[in-house]
A and B are shown apart, each in its own frame.
Chain A
Amino acid sequence: MSAMNEWIDSQVKSNDVVLFMKGTPDFPQCGFSGQVVQILDYLNVPYSGVNVLADPELRDGIKEYSSWPTIPQLYVKGEFIGGCDIIREMFQAGELQGMLAEKGVAAAA
């Protein structure tokens, strides 16, 4: 496992909810990343945002880590949930809220 892979793995495993995105939660630099930020903020879910634009090695590494070719990528309790399309579909169907509750990730008070 490369050093980058290990670093990603530690982020995914030490945070309940991690979003690998382009830009930051305050300043998303891509419409797809921005959509997921809006959904997580709407649900009031605490999460850690990781800006893949900060490091080309990270940007490539995260695609390898999950065998997923695009960004954003959302992880909950160490599990890859999906990218923008999947998160939006789950949110619209009410499944995202259920999954978060099931995994014991509570919305911030």
Chain B
Amino acid sequence: MSIKARIEAKLADALAPEQLDVIDESHLHAGHAGHRPGGETHFRVNIVSTTFAGQSRLERHRTVNRILAEELAGGVHALAVHPSAPGEEARPAGRPS
């Protein structure tokens, strides 16, 4: 299973998201620290889940970090996350310059 598929599966299981986009942006970071051939190093996650309602920004990110602890400790170099609750403006996570 690819890392992308694993991230999707873990988040889908844990948070029952209404919307989930996991985007492999590794190609944007060719030559940058942490990049390796074959990609799967830099991801962006846009996720909408009722779990996030009533949680602070920090709590939302900690929730995602906990679910993806294994991936973050292993091969994933960078993870941009935009967690929102249903009904909030869905603004995509930004990318590093």
Binding site for B on A (CB under 8 A): 22, 29-32, 34-35, 38, 67-70, 80-86, 88-90, 92
Contact = CB atoms under 8 A, between A and B. Distances in A.
Residue from A29, A85, A89, A92 with most neighbouring chain B CB atoms (10 Å) = A85
9 contacts: A29-B33, A69-B69, A70-B79, A82-B58, A84-B96, A89-B82, A89-B91, A90-B57, A92-B91
Contact of B82 (A68, A70, A81, A85): A85
A32 B77 CA distance: 11
A69 B95 CA distance: 18
Given A30-B33, A31-B32, A82-B58, 6 more contacts: A32-B80, A68-B62, A82-B61, A84-B80, A85-B82, A86-B61
Interface in B1-57: 29, 32-33, 57
Contact of B65 (A30, A34, A68, A88): A68
Contacts of A30: 33, 96
Contacts, number: 52
B96 A31 contact: yes
Interface of B: 29, 32-33, 57-58, 61-62, 65, 69, 72-73, 78-82, 91, 93-97
- Helix, strand, loop or mixed for chain B's interface? mixed
B96 A32 contact: yes
Nearest 8 Cβ contacts at the A-B interface = A31-B96, A69-B72, A86-B57, A32-B96, A31-B97, A69-B65, A88-B94, A85-B81
